[in-house]
Structure formats: C-alpha cells, structure tokens
Chains A and B, each alone.
Chain A
Amino acid sequence: MTANELIRLSASAMAAKLAAGEITSVELTQAHLDRIADVDHGDRGVNAFLHVNAEEALAVAADVDARRAAGEELHELAGVPIAIKDLIVTKGQPTTAGSKILEGWMSPYDATVIKKIRAARMPMLGKTNLDEFAMGSSTEHSAYGPTRNPWDLDRIPGGSGGGSAAAVAAFEAPFALGTDTGGSIRQPGAVTGTVGVKPTYGAVSRYGAIAMASSLDQIGPVSRTVLDSALLQEVIGGHDPFDSTSLTDPSIGLAAAARLGNVKGMKIGIIKELHGEGYQAGVENRFNESLELLRSAGAEIVEVSCPNFGYALGAYYLIMPSEASSNLAKFDGVRFGMRTLPTEGPLTIERVMGATRAAGFGDEVKRRIILGTYALSAGYYDAYYGSAQKVRTLIQRDFAAAFEQVDVLISPTSPVTAFKLGEKLDDPLAMYLNDVATIPANMAGVPGLTLPGGLADEDGLPVGIQLLAPAREDARLYRVGAVLESLLEAQWGGPILDQAPVLASTATVAEEAN
C-alpha cells in the first residue's frame, strides 16, 4: 500500500493494520507529515496547521512500534496519529487560540483530553487553525490567516474548527479534536464533507480548553467516519475531577452502537423549524434523501415542532458574549501572553492592559467582549442575560417534549454549503446565521453529530446532516449515524471524499516563497 493510499484509510482501518503488523506507526505518522508538507503551506495551501509537531509525533510513533514489537498490549488506537485544535492546551507545543495575544505561548500543563491522548499513545501531528478564541464560522477570524476548504480552496472550511475539519478532509490527519460552543465542530464538518460530534455537555472534560462560553463549550471528535468519532470519544470522554461540570458517566458503548448496524423501529423526528425557508435548495434535497434512506431502513420518520428554537440564535448571542467577556478578562498583559505598552502618556497597568488588549484581540473578539459587557451591565442584565437564560429553559422544554415522541431528531447541519472566503466577513449578522441549526444543542446541553449527506446540486459542495439525541444518549447518534453513512456510501459507491478534487502540491511554491 502506497503512502497516498494509507492516509485515505479510516482511523479504525489504520488501527487494524497497525495491530496486524502490516504497517508501522512511524510509517503512518511520516505519511501524514509528508502530506501536511505537501498540501498545507504556501499561498494556495490548506493552512489547516498552525504548528506541526513532527519530532514528538515520530518519537511517540517509534515508541509504539517498539512496544508492539515487544508484545505489549496497547490501546486500540495506539500509533494512529491525531491533530489537535489550537484552543486545547498542550505541553511542548505552542497554544495560540488563533490569537495574536497568545502568539508563541507555551502552556505549562496539558488539557485532560491531551493526557488521555498521550495515555493511548496517539502521536500528535500538530495544532490546527481556528477563528480567534473559537469565535466565528469560517476561520477567517484567525490571526494567522484563514484555512481553505479542500473542496474549493477559495471557500471557507467552516468555523471555528475549520483547521481540524480541513485537515481531516485533506487526509492530513485521520481524525482530530475540536471544540463546539455553538456549532464549531458540526458546521465545519458539514461544509467539508466530514464527521464531527458535540458530545453531551460534560461527557468530555473541558479542563485545558481555553474557555469562550463555559456553559456552552464542549470538546469532541472530528473524523471521516462515524465509527472513528465513536472510538475517539471513548478515548477522551469520562469523568474528570479537574472539571467540576464533568459527568460521572463512563465513556463506553459508543463504538458498539456505531457497529450495531440497524435502525429498525426507531423513531426519528424532523424539526419543523430547522429546514425549509432560509435553507439552500441543494441542502434541502440531500436532507430529504437521507430521510428516505432512513425510512427504507425501517425507521419511522415523524415531524415535531420546537417553537422556541426561533429565539435560540438571539439568546445565544447574549449568553455566549456575556460568558466570553468574563472569560477573556484574564488576558491582561500580566500573567501570560503579549504585553503592549502605550505609545504616549503614563505607563500604568490600566493603560498597558488597554493597549495590550487593543493590539492582541481581533475585531470579532472585541465585538463579542463589548456586547457581553453590555448585556451584563447594570440596568440591562435582566432584559438581556436574564431573558436569554429563560429562553434556554424554553429550548430545553422543546427538546424534552420532542424526545417524548422520538428517539433522535434530524435536521440539516448548516443552512448553506461553503461560501467564498471574504463573502460574509464584513457582515457579522450574516456570519452568525450559519449556526442557526447547531446552537439549540449547546443551549440545552444535548449531543449532536454531523455526517456528510452528499453534494448540493447547485454547487457540488458537501451538505451536512445533523442528528440530535437526549442528554447522555450520545450512543444513539452513533447508531443512527453509522447506518445512514453506510446507506449513503452504498449509493455513492464509496466515501464522499472520493469525489473531492485532488489537491495540487504546494510544497515547491512554499519553498520558493521561503
């Protein structure tokens, strides 16, 4: 098998080849590092990676190979490489959160999910690009330049986790870690033709994920197949005493659910408010086809109404900035990150802080901090933050009523396919609308999964199908997702990414540019 064939395998297939001794982890890791060097850099590169961790990744891979050769029993995914969203702190690699304010910052500790990745002996390929502090839906708000969508290099890969999704779609990594506050794992998955899961709030520890909105943030898996996300969530999930919001449920049964292979008798609900008007025709068509496939597999499809979802976007844009404005107060030019001195006037700490945050934060971050400061200020708190928290209750009630009727809910993940870089950059409200279908899950804490549903007729770009389940029922997503995936792939004659254009090598261009 050539290196180019190797990197196109699923993570579980890679794991099987490693276990069978057909390939080594060094070979596999090097193949991905070569792929990154080939397609990631230069003006027309994917730019999924902010940092490539070649030396450590190869050392971990060599260690896995030695242990395997010595007959040691290893984790199922040992030796399978992974990419990490650069919002998650890692020892030995810089963590920037996509912001200038943290340029070059080295965390003195590992996030809990990173400790678990290390314990499973998965080589970390590097850190992936994102909108600054995960604030955006296109990665255009990264201080280090946008990531490009492997399906069309002039289009956005979604956001905030566009780097993780693009890395996986471009075969630079078999899977990756993402974070999802309002759709930052699922919307990039939808527009890049990949799989992504936001687990139940608390199912995966947030310790070491740089916080945007603490009551909404969740770490989760990004992959090319449903089974791979299930395997990865089993690695990273489970209780963590370092995160007091982490659930005590064990992280088991997810891969088994993905392998179950039937949906007969399951009730699946179409959310009336999350399709139709405002959704691109090609998105709607692929969504309807998926419903037909699930029906043909023996699922019962019914329509349910979640009348308060119409308020979710507005409530989200009050709660998220409020929490973000508080969480980002720690970037003060004193304890970590950059410090900028004012060019004139007295050099007090207040003025240094103002100058540092002015120079270190980008526009979108400033917008959200100001908006959050406003929503929390005296006189407005009840009308804004208080009202938004009540909407949160209403959304939870809508979900509870819906899940009394059905096992799983289904909707398109994103109302549109990947748009052009720059198209919505000057229109914050248009950008915010990309998350209209993903936000309700974060508001209620329920798990959500996106998988590719095909290509839109009008532009040939990937469409995402979203599944939602009750809190703590993540396994249902993997069960239904894997069945739908296999039915769709049978129609396509293989994975959707087989239809993606071949990426030209940018390695020589990058060399010349240096």
Chain B
Amino acid sequence: MAAINRDDVAHLAQLAHIEMSDDELDRMANELALIVDSVKSVSEAAGDDVPTTSHPIPLTNVMREDVVGHVLTVEEALSGAPDSADGRFKVPAILEES
C-alpha cells in the first residue's frame, strides 16, 4: 500500500474541511505515516473468500410506522446555531464573489 505523504495530508485536510498550518501538516504527515504503516497488515489478514461485516449484530429492514414522530420545534432546532434569521440557519456567502 502507498505511504501517506505531506501532499496527501494537505489534500485530505481540504476534503475534511480542516485548515492546517505548515507545521501541522508536517507533524500530521509524520504521525499518519507511522499509523498507516502499523495498520497495513490488515490488508493481508483475510482472503477474497471472507465476507465483510459492517455491523456486529445482523439486523435487516428495521421499519416503523410512517407517522410524524419525535421532532424538534424550529426554536429548538435553531437554539444551538451560531447564527440564524427568520427561522432558518444563517450562513456566510455560499460562493466567493468575483
């Protein structure tokens, strides 16, 4: 498996929406390279014939009645928001103005 490098970390940080300083990128790249190296044996553990498990206790098709259940009021839903207006979440600009 490929090693993880500083450029990878910069790209991943962007995907994960976390700004990182140059120092932080250097440190994170070193730490993650070690961690990834230590977990790579996992890819050799199981052959193609082993099925994957996504959930510890198999459950299928958990359904409920199609009725309005437990919902928050608008006030409750907005109560922890950093900014809101007219009963809605308020965000800064979506697009950069050119």
A residues engaging B (CB < 8 A)?
105-109, 200-202, 215-216, 241-242, 244-245, 247, 308, 311, 313-315, 317-318, 325, 329, 332-339, 341-342, 346-355, 357-358, 361, 366-367, 369-371, 373-374, 377, 380, 383-384, 386-394, 396, 428-429, 432, 442-446, 471
- Selected contact of A373 from candidates B15, B51, B92, CB within 8 Å: B15
Say if the beta carbon of B95 comes within 8 Å of chain A: yes
**Is the pair B12, A377 in contact by a Cβ cutoff of 8 Å?**
yes
Contact of A318 with B13 at beta-carbon distance under 8 Å, contacts A335-B81, A374-B8, A374-B32 already known: no
Q: Which residues of B contact A241 (CB under 8 A)?
A: 64
Q: Which residues of B contact A355 (CB under 8 A)?
A: 19
**Is the pair B32, A338 in contact by a Cβ cutoff of 8 Å?**
no
**Is the pair B93, A348 in contact by a Cβ cutoff of 8 Å?**
yes
Say if the beta carbon of B82 comes within 8 Å of chain A: yes
Contact of A394 with B46 at beta-carbon distance under 8 Å, contacts A109-B72, A429-B38 already known: yes
Question: How many residue pairs bridge A and B at CB < 8 Å?
Answer: 185
Apart from A314-B42, A329-B16, A442-B56, list 17 A-B contacts with CB within 8 A.
A105-B80, A108-B72, A108-B77, A311-B45, A318-B42, A339-B83, A346-B97, A348-B93, A357-B19, A366-B18, A367-B31, A367-B32, A387-B45, A390-B46, A390-B50, A394-B45, A471-B56
Contact of A348 with B96 at beta-carbon distance under 8 Å, contacts A108-B72, A308-B45, A370-B28 already known: yes
Q: Which residues of B contact A354 (CB under 8 A)?
A: 14, 17-19
**Is the pair B1, A334 in contact by a Cβ cutoff of 8 Å?**
no
Minimal Cβ-Cβ distance residue in B for A216: B56
Interface residues on B, range: 35 or more
Minimal Cβ-Cβ distance residue in A for B14: A354
Minimal Cβ-Cβ distance residue in A for B65: A241
Nearest CB on B from A418, distance (A):
24
Q: Which residues of B contact A107 (CB under 8 A)?
A: 80
A314 to B36, CA, bound (A): 9
Q: Which residues of A contact B18 (CB under 8 A)?
A: 354, 357-358, 361, 366, 369-370
Nearest CB on B from A316, distance (A):
9
**Is the pair B80, A106 in contact by a Cβ cutoff of 8 Å?**
yes
**Is the pair B52, A370 in contact by a Cβ cutoff of 8 Å?**
no
Nearest CB on B from A438, distance (A):
15
Main secondary structure on chain A at its contact with chain B? helix
**27 pairs from A and B in contact (CB 8 Å cutoff):** A105-B80, A108-B79, A108-B80, A109-B76, A202-B57, A202-B59, A241-B64, A245-B55, A313-B39, A315-B42, A335-B81, A348-B92, A349-B92, A367-B32, A369-B18, A373-B12, A373-B16, A374-B8, A374-B12, A374-B36, A383-B43, A390-B53, A393-B52, A393-B53, A396-B56, A428-B31, A445-B57
**Is the pair A429, B43 in contact by a Cβ cutoff of 8 Å?**
no
Say if the beta carbon of B68 comes within 8 Å of chain A: no
Interface string of B37-74 (1 = CB under 8 A from A): 01111110110001111111101001010000010100
A373 to B17, CA, bound (A): 11
Q: Which residues of B contact A325 (CB under 8 A)?
A: 16
Q: Which residues of B contact A369 (CB under 8 A)?
A: 16, 18
Nearest CB on A from B8, distance (A):
7
A432 to B39, CA, bound (A): 11
A357 to B14, CA, bound (A): 11
Q: Which residues of B contact A374 (CB under 8 A)?
A: 4, 8, 12, 32, 36
A338 to B82, CA, bound (A): 6
Nearest CB on B from A448, distance (A):
13
Q: Which residues of A contact B93 (CB under 8 A)?
A: 346-349
A351 to B36, CA, bound (A): 28
- Selected contact of B92 from candidates A347, A366, A392, A442, CB within 8 Å: A347
- Selected contact of A335 from candidates B52, B76, B80, CB within 8 Å: B80
Max chain A C-beta neighbours (<10 A), residue from B56, B59, B62:
B56
Contacts of B1-34 to chain A: CB distance below 8 A = 1-2, 4, 8-9, 12-20, 24, 28, 31-32, 34
- Selected contact of A349 from candidates B53, B54, B59, B94, CB within 8 Å: B94
A348 to B19, CA, bound (A): 14
- Selected contact of A370 from candidates B2, B13, B62, B70, CB within 8 Å: B13
**Is the pair A428, B81 in contact by a Cβ cutoff of 8 Å?**
no
Minimal Cβ-Cβ distance residue in B for A107: B80
- Selected contact of A215 from candidates B1, B17, B50, B54, CB within 8 Å: B54
The 7 lowest CB-CB distance pairs between A and B, nearest first, are: A445-B56, A390-B46, A336-B80, A339-B82, A389-B52, A108-B76, A314-B39
